[in-house]
Amino acid sequence: MNAKYLAQIRAQRTTDGDKAVWLPAEPEPVVMGMHGAVADHYGLGNERKSHATTIDYVVASAAACLMGTFGRALQARGVDLASAGLELDATGHVVEDGGVLVLKRIEVRYRLDAPADQRDAIERAHAVHHRACPVSRSLEGSIEIETEVDIVCASAGGTRSP
């Protein structure tokens, strides 16, 4: 298989056990570590500075990629994102499996403020966007991903209806 792109990452373990990770196109490394329940699970508690976990980055990557893909699908259907205010919240469901914390499910909930006459276009875009998302497709079969969209429709009188 010929690769279209090679994602080349460099990582280094820091003296406190975190990971400094250099990502393509980023001038500075990001620090990945542990916090909260993950640090507690691995017996580290509050002994160290909290940093986002590698699992947090997987959830964030899936959510950000899905949002970009959804945004492009909306624009292709004439939805004006400059005024729509597309946002999301994502939750990763992590379970213990043989002593290891494993990401099993990602829930993504979009919020979009759009005119009522664009509801059908938004729902059509939402129904298919996950199939065009590189991260969603990469995780498919390993991690369940569920998305939903809350559309707040602005009426001509300036009030909103659900």
What confidence tens digit (pLDDT) does each residue in 36-95 have? 999 999 888 777 789 999 999 999 999 999 999 999 999 999 998 877 789 999 999 999
Q: How far is CA 135 from CA 7, 25, 57, 92, 113, in A?
A: 13, 18, 12, 14, 25
- Whose structure tokens read 């569920």? 146
What are the boundaries of each domain within the chain?
1-52, 53-161
CATH, domain range 53-161 = 3.30.300.20
* Cβ-contact 52, 35 below 8 angstroms: yes
Tens digit of each residue's pLDDT (9 = 90 or more) over 99-147: 999 999 999 999 999 888 899 999 999 999 999 999 999 999 999 999 9
